[in-house]
Chain A
Amino acid sequence: MDILEEGEGELLAWHDPDEHRRWVLENKPRSLKDKQMNLKEAITKFVHDGDYIAMGGFGHVRVSMAAIYEIVRQKKRNLAMAGKTAVHDFDILVASGCVNKVEVAYCFGHELRGLSPASRRVFENGKVEVAAEISNAGFQWRFKAAAMGLPSIPTRVMLGTDTLKYSSAKVVKDPFNGKPICLLPACYPDVVFIHVHRCDKYGNSQIDGIIIEDFELARAARRLIITTEEIVDGEKIRNEPWKTMIPFYLVDAVVKVPYGSHPGNMPYLYYSDEEHMAEWLKLSKTDEGVKQYLEKYVYGIETFEEYLHLIGGENKLRYLRRLEQLKAPLKAPWAEG
C-alpha cells in the first residue's frame, strides 16, 4: 500500500496485536474474582513510573479525580498521558511533576474557565513535552482500533492539516476507492482509570448518561482500575445485563470512592464544583500557590473522606447535588474576576 504522508509525532502506546493478545492471555484472568481494594493498593500495584495513562470521562466530567490525587501522593514520575480532552486531571498531574509527556487532543485549558496557568507554565519551562498532536475523534478511534484488536483504523479526519503532520497517523491510498485515507494507530494505554456510577465486586460496571469513549478505552487498556460511586450486588447486574458497559474480565481493580469525580461533574448525581475550580485557577497562577493547593488537598490528607470534608463537607455536596438537578443557581467565581 502506498504511504502518501506520515505524521512526525511520536507513536505512543502502540503494540502489535499479536504481542498484545499474548499479553492478554498471560495477564488477564477470565474468572469472576473479588477485585475490591483501596486506591493506595491499586495505584501501588498497577501504576509504574514511565507508564502511558488515560482517564475515562471527558474534560471535567466523570473523571476519577480521587485516583489522580493518589497518583500525586505516591509521587509517580515520567508518566505519559493521553490528552484526550484532559483538563483538571492533566493540570494537576503536570503541576505536581507526575506527567512529563503528553499526546494532545485538548490540554492546557479549562474549557470555558480559560487557559490553565499551571500546565502552561510547566510547558513553557520545558518540563512537559508534547509528543504528538491528534483530534478528539482521532484519539477515541485510536482506542477503538485497540479495542478491536487491530494495528490501525481508517478515518477521514485530520487530512490535509498540521494536526496530522504532528500526529502518529499515516495517510494511504484506500485500496477500494483510491482516495487518501488517514490510518490512526491503535493505542493500548498501560493503565486506564474509569469512574462509574455502580459496579459489582468483580468489576461489571454501569454508567448512566453519555459513555464518551469509555466503551472503547476499557477494552484498549492493559490495566483497568474502576473507581465507583457505589458497589452493588452481582444480581443487580444480572437483572439488567444490557446496562453493563464494562465487563469484569477487563477490570483489574475495583475501588469504591463516592464523589470520586469531585471537583468534576458526575451526571445525575452532582455537578462540577466551580468554587473549587476557581480556587485552583487562582492558586495555580504561581508555583507557590500550586504547592499550597497540593499541600492542603493532596499531601496533607490521608483519605478521600477527609478531602470531602475540606472542600465543604455535606453542605457543599448537597449544593452540588441540587445544582445537578437544576434546583440551585450556579456559582462560578472564575467568571467574575
Chain B
Amino acid sequence: MEKKIEYTTIELMACAASRVLEDKKSVLVGTGLPIIAGALAQKTHAPNLFIVFEAGGMGTRIPMLPISVGDSRTFYKALMANSMDYVMSTAQLGYMDYSFLGAAQIDMYGNVNTTVIGLHEKPKVRLPGSGGANDAGSLCWRTIILMQQDTRRFVERVDFITTPGYLSGPGAREKAGLPAGTGPYRVITQLGIMGFDEKTKRMMLLSVHPGMTVDQVKASTGFELIVPDKVSVTKPPTEKELEVLRTEIDPAGIVLRRR
C-alpha cells in the first residue's frame, strides 16, 4: 500500500509544470508559480536547467521565491546579470526552449488574454497587460500556460489577444510573421493537463489530475476540447517534491499557501 500524501492543487500544478521542463534546456520564467516550477525542476530532476529572467538574470541558482520579476533573487549566483534587451534578443535568436505564462482567458488555439475583460475601450476589468508575456509567447519555442480552468476562463473567443497562441489555426503564426515552429505547448490547470493537436493546433486533453474526471474538465471548458480515447491520470507530487517546495522554495507560503 502506498502512503497517502497530502498536497494542495497549487502544489500539484507546480509539480506538473516542473516535470514538463527537461534537464539541459533553457526556460524563461516570470515570478509566481512559474518560478516555483522552474526552481523545483532545478532542485530535483533538472539540475542543469538554464533559468533565465526577462530583466536580465541568466543561469540563476534560485535561493527562494523572488517577489518581483527583477528582484535580486532572480540573479542570485547567476552566470550573467545582463539586460532585458540581451535576454529578449537571445529569445528572438532561438535560444529559449520553454517559457511560462499565466492567463485570465484562453481559447482553443491557446491565445491568451491578460489585458482586459470586456471591451478595451470600456473594460469591465482592467488587468495588468502583456508584461513580458507577449514576448515570451512570441519568441520562445514552447510556451506553457498555468491558469485556473472554468467556462469564464476557457472561452470560445478571448476578449483581447494579449499573447499569441496559434491565432486562427495552423500556419497563422508564421503568416503573421512570428518565428516559425513556436507556440503554446501545455496548459496546466487545477483539473488537468492539456496539449495541442499537431494537425489542427486545437487544445487537447492529455491527463486529468487524481480525483478529477474527463467530464469535469469538459464541463469547465467553454469550447470544444479534443478528448482522445485514452486520457491518463497526472502523477501526484512525491514527498521529495513537496519537501523542496515547502521548505526551500516558498517557506513563507506566499504562493503555495495563499488562498
Contacts and interface: CB of A to CB of B under 8 A. Distances in A.
Interface stretch (B19-27, B126-134, B185-193, B210-218): B126-134
Nearest to B112: A161
B227 interface: no
B164 A159 contact: yes
B128 A158 contact: no
Interface in A242-299: 264-265, 267-268, 271-272, 274
Nearest to B130: A135
B143 interface: no
Contacts of A324: 72
Nearest to B179: A156
B47 interface: no
Closest A-B pairs by Cβ, 7 of them:
A180-B177, A210-B56, A160-B176, A137-B135, A109-B128, A106-B131, A137-B88
Interface stretch (A43-51, A228-236, A309-317, A325-333): A325-333
B11 interface: no
B32 A161 contact: no
A133 B116 CA distance: 11
A104 interface: yes
Contact of A133 (B54, B72, B129): B129
Residue among A109, A111, A136 having the largest count of chain B Cβ atoms under 10 Å = A136
Residue among B63, B84, B179 having the largest count of chain A Cβ atoms under 10 Å = B84
Contacts of A112: 31-32, 67-68, 254-255
Given A112-B32, A136-B132, A156-B139, A59 B69 contact: yes
Contacts of A215: 83, 85
A98 interface: no
A300 B133 CA distance: 39
B68 A137 contact: no
A111 B114 CA distance: 13
Given A141-B85, A155-B92, A104 B129 contact: yes
B162 interface: yes
A268 B77 CA distance: 12
A174 to B, nearest CB: 8
A268 B251 CA distance: 22
Interface string A89-109: 000000000000000111111
Given A59-B68, A113-B67, A105 B138 contact: no
A180 B53 CA distance: 28
A134 B176 CA distance: 17
Nearest to A174: B177
Interface of A: 57-61, 83, 85, 87, 104-109, 111-113, 115, 120, 123-124, 130, 133-138, 140-141, 144, 155-163, 166, 171, 179-182, 209-216, 264-265, 267-268, 271-272, 274, 324, 326, 329-332, 335
Contact of A60 (B53, B54, B67): B67
Contact of B139 (A134, A157, A161, A211): A157
A136 B160 CA distance: 17
A133 B84 CA distance: 18
A144 B252 contact: no
A335 B252 contact: yes
A166 B258 CA distance: 34
A59 B74 CA distance: 13
Nearest to B131: A106
Contacts of B54: 136-137
Given A106-B129, A111-B68, A272-B67, A213 B163 contact: no
B75 A160 contact: no
Nearest to A102: B129
A210 B178 contact: no
Contacts of A182: 177
Nearest to B69: A59
B98 to A, nearest CB: 17
Nearest to A208: B81
Contact of A210 (B67, B70, B161, B255): B70
B56 A160 contact: no
Contacts of B170: none
A166 B116 CA distance: 12
A242 B16 CA distance: 43
Given A157-B138, A157-B139, A210-B74, A135 B133 contact: yes
A134 B133 CA distance: 11
A264 B127 CA distance: 22
A134 B115 CA distance: 10
B69 A137 contact: no
Interface in B133-189: 133-135, 138-139, 160-164, 167, 172-173, 175-179
Contact of B176 (A141, A159, A214): A159
B120 to A, nearest CB: 6
Contact of A211 (B56, B160, B178): B56
A171 B177 contact: yes
A105 B130 contact: yes
A135 B101 CA distance: 13
Contacts of B92: 155-157
